[in-house]
Amino acid sequence: MTSAEPGRPGSHPNDAAAPPPTLPVAPPQGITDARLARQIAFLMEIDKLKSVLRRSNLVDLSRPENDAEHSWHLAMLAVVLGEYAAAGVDHGRVLRMLLVHDLVEIYAGDTFVYDPHAVAGQQQRERAAADQLFPQLPPDQATPLRALWEEFERRDTADARFARALDRVQPLLLNFYTGGSTWRPHGVRHVDVLAHREVIEQGSPALWEYVRTMLDAAVRRGYLLS
């Protein structure tokens, strides 16, 4: 059982005496397993994903969603909505793809899908970020994870098409269930959203039918410009 000072849940009795750490904190001395040290360093590096803010808001409208939350939410969509994928989709691969797909945004930043100027440079920024990020892992892990990211980007397999469909559906759900909290301030139109129909429909026709009905309702309610 850990001790805590009165009124300070979870605090340690030595906290007051300890100076604040200098960041980044050096790894512990005496680690001899270079592979494990490299893997842990990578995992600490991708913690930065939690600081990359997206344009979508949380459903309670308390703040913007971050990239790590987005990736977690997509993984849950894949688990709960997996029955709407095409026959033969490997759901384990889809989950791995979704966990990896936005890691490059640690260095490249999030790209707002309705900003044509930002979208124009997205591929170049993200490829440069991938070149920087994945080699931080041992090669036998870096190569397959980079390959998953590339597959997601190409959308040339059933696994990637389903993963990409979920990546498009999730922010639409957040927008609808927050009353168009991102659409309205940016003047997003129904036709702007329909430009991404193919990505969703090819990945899951059933999910597209839900989204199509939802977008029609969004226009009627004034969440989305007609």
Q: What pLDDT is recorded for position 24? A: 78
Report pLDDT digits (tens) over 158-182.
999 999 999 999 999 999 999 999 9
Q: Which residue has the tokens 């009905």?
A: 213
Whether omega before 9 lies within 30 degrees of 0, making that bond cis, reads no
Task: Give the CATH number of domain 34-51+60-221; options: 1.10.3720.10, 1.10.3210.10, 3.60.21.10, 3.30.70.360.
Answer: 1.10.3210.10
Q: How many helices, marked H, and strands, marked E, lie in the chain? A: 11, 2
Q: What pLDDT is recorded for position 23? A: 74
Q: What is the residue extent of each domain of the chain?
A: 34-51+60-221
d(CA 154, CA 13): 53
Q: What pLDDT is recorded for position 14? A: 58
Report pLDDT digits (tens) over 44-84.
999 999 999 999 999 999 999 999 999 999 999 999 999 99
Q: What pLDDT is recorded for position 25? A: 84
| CA angle at 127 for the pair 121 and 132, rounded to the nearest 5° | 130
Cβ-contact 57, 65 below 8 angstroms = yes
Q: What pLDDT is recorded for position 27? A: 86
Q: What pLDDT is recorded for position 10? A: 57
Q: What pLDDT is recorded for position 148? A: 98
d(CA 97, CA 164): 9
Q: Is 85 buried (19+), middle (13-18) or exposed (0-12) by CB count in 10 A?
A: buried
**Residues of the chain predicted below pLDDT 50:** 5-6
